[in-house]
Amino acid sequence: MEFRLPDLGEGLEEAEVVEWLVGEGAVVARDQPIVAVSTDKAVVELPAPMAGRVTRRVGAAGDRIRVGEVVAVIEEVAAVAVPAAAAPAPPALRPRAAPAVRRLAVELGVDLQTVAATGPGGRIVADDVRRAANGGAAPAPVAPPPAPTAASAAPVAAGVGQAPPGRHPLTGIRRRTAEVVAGAWSSIPHIANMDEVDATELLEARTRLRRAAGEHGELIGVMPLLVMAVARTLRRFPLVNAHLDSAAGEVEVHAAVHIGLAVASADGLVVPVVREVERRGLLDLATEIERLVTAARSRRLRHTELEGATCTVTNFGSLGGRFSIPIIRPPEVAIFGFGAIAPRPLVVDGQVVARPTLPYVVAVDHRVLDGDAVCAVSAALAQTLGDPLSLLLG
């Protein structure tokens, strides 16, 4: 039987092979994932439509396959003819993974059903789980990255900026990111304002909220507070919470605030969307952010969770950055970026003192908004961040 690329929805016409999960000649169970394909930004594992032997695989990693084209050929095999050690065993009851690997998966929040196994006989090994947790694809044949030095400020994901000499195709999310950012950078005239705000109150609020949240306290980091502050700022400046339809020459201002969160995964940049931020309480918001970031890193986002952002927040501070110019994601008209909070010199009452400060960046599309808007939005955001109790005002 020829297994053709099914319609994956969302009007997609083609997908790219990320990784084969079974070898040619493998005997697979019905519904066993056999190949991982990347559509826009989500990676989907396609299950076998029937039990049998995979006699042919079409396409290698990086090849693009159109909907309706043959992905694999699966032939029926008589049950008795299946040799005992033929191929990756169908995980009839549970994924094959040793207890220590299963515990690691729980700790990292990885669903073993979604993990591609590289161990002998289809076993999931610890590295498979770690890779899935980092949202990564199959290991690239690269030299291990140099160990981070003790001085490095923030954890750097393994593999960042690493590749052996030679030509490498842009595949999957990388290719898609390349297209989008190139279009954005060449068509959007960015103007940006950068500043720092005293984060003393913000950190104090985070600590107290954590305590107040009891056992859910660990969910409450600075990020949910930042996202909430951005949402409040967008409510005060509705034109920033908008989409530009440049073909129609119109700006669509949105009533609801759906914030995209830029997440660095091993596959590249992924931007899941928190819906209706303005309606959420802090704990709810924190829980949703945690869920989306975890799903993004383990490639379990649904397409719908990647769409419909009205504005985007990027937290380059988590990677150790201080100031940067983020690229607006069309058709959005603004993006907010946050750097790392660290003790820095600040003038307070005429004295230079060390205070934790939060660097932030507001960038807008100059076609829609002018410099006065950037500065007003920045000032409003800074006011909220400097006095987080004001978030209670709504």
Partner 1 sequence: MVVGEVSTFSEVVVIGGGPGGYATAERAAALGRSVVLVERERLGGVCLNAGCIPSKALIQVANTVALPAEAAAWGVESDARADMERVQAWMAAVMDRLRGDVEGRMRRAGVGVVRGTARFSTARRVVVATNGSTQHIEFDHAVVATGSRPTALRALAVDHARILDSTDVLALRAIPRRTAVIGGGYIGLELGCALHKLGSAVTVVEIADRLLPAMHPALGGALQRRLSARGIEVLLGTSALDDDGAALRVRGPDGERRIEVDAVVVAVGRRPNTDELGLERAGVPCDAAGRIAVDPSRRATRTVLAVGDVTDGPGLAHKATAEAEVAAATAAGRRAAFAPACIPEVVFTDPEVASAGLTPERAREAGAEVVTRRLPLTASARALLRGDGAGFVELVAEPSGALLGAHIVGPDAAELIAEAALAIEMGATLEDLALTIHPHPTLSESLAMAAMS
Closer of 199 and 219 to partner 1 (Cβ): 219
| Joined tokens for residue 98 | 């040793």
- Distance between CA atoms of 188 and 312, rounded to whole angstroms? 15
In the chain, DSSP assigns E strands to: 2-4, 14-20, 27-28, 33-38, 43-47, 52-57, 64-66, 70-75, 190-198, 242-245, 250-253, 259-265, 268-270, 273-274, 311-314, 334-338, 342-348, 351-365
SS (H, E, C) 207-229: HHHHHHCHHHHHHCCHHHHHHHH
CB of 342 to partner 1, least distance (A): 26
Provide the minimum distance between the beta carbon of 93 and partner 1 in the complex, in angstroms, as a whole number.
5
Least distance to partner 1, CB of residue 230, Å: 28
Q: How far is the CB of 37 from partner 1 (least distance, A)?
A: 26
Considering just the CA atoms, what is the radius of gyration of the chain in Å? 24
Q: Could you say which of 190, 254, 303, 366 is catalytic? A: 366
Burial profile 27-44: b = 16 or more Cβ within 10 angstroms, e = fewer: bbbeebbbbbbbbbbbbb
The DSSP code for 378 is: H
* Minimum distance from residue 322 beta carbon to partner 1 (Å): 31
For residues 39 and 239, give the distance between their C-alpha atoms in angstroms, rounded to a whole number. Answer: 32
Instruction: State the binding string over 302-331 for partner 1 (x if CB under 8 A, else -).
Output: ------------------------------
Our CB check for partner 1 shows the closer of 72 and 105 to be: 105
Contacts with partner 1 by CB under 8 A: the residue count is: 26
Cβ proximity to partner 1, 7 vs 31, nearer residue: 31
Residue 6 or 109: the one with the smaller Cβ distance to partner 1 is 109
What's the longest Cα–Cα distance across the chain? 85
- Is residue 33 a contact residue for partner 1 (CB under 8 A)? no
Contact 392, 225 (CB under 8 A): no
Residue-level length of the chain: 394
| Residue span binding partner 1 (CB under 8 A) among the ranges 42-50, 99-107, 198-206, 367-375 | 99-107
Nearer to partner 1, 110 or 240 (CB): 110
Considering only 67-75, 213-221, 232-240, 267-275, which stretch makes contact with partner 1 by CB under 8 A?
A: 213-221
**Smallest gap from residue 89 Cβ to partner 1 (A):** 4
Report the distance separating Cα 48 and Cα 320, nearest Å.
43
Give backbone dihedrals phi and psi of 49, rounded to 5 degrees, phi first. Answer: -75, -15
Q: Which of 107, 204, 245, 370 binds partner 1 (CB under 8 A)?
A: 107
Residue 108 token pair: 């990292």
* Cα 115 versus chain centre, distance: 17
Contacts of partner 1 in 69-98 (CB under 8 A): 79, 82, 84-86, 89-90, 92-94, 96-98
Judged by CB under 8 A, the stretch of 105-113, 204-212, 242-250, 262-270 that binds partner 1 is 105-113
CB of 156 to partner 1, least distance (A): 24
Candidate list 11, 99, 164, 350; residue touching partner 1; CB under 8 A: 99
Query: In the annotation, is 366 catalytic?
Result: yes
Q: Are strands 268-270 and 64-66 parallel, antiparallel or unpaired?
A: unpaired
Question: Rounded CA gap, 257 and 233, in Å?
Answer: 10
Stretches 11-19, 104-112, 152-160, 366-374: which one binds partner 1 (CB under 8 A)? 104-112
- Looking at the Cβ atoms of 300 and 329, the one nearer to partner 1 is 300
Cβ neighbours for 185, distance < 8 A, ≥ 6 positions apart: 327
Kindly tell me which residue out of 218, 250, 252, 370 binds partner 1, with binding defined by CB under 8 A. Answer: 218
Helix or strand or coil: residue 344?
Answer: strand
Q: Which residues bind partner 1 (CB under 8 A)?
A: 27, 79, 82, 84-86, 89-90, 92-94, 96-99, 102-103, 106-109, 121, 123, 214-215, 218
Catalytic residues: 366
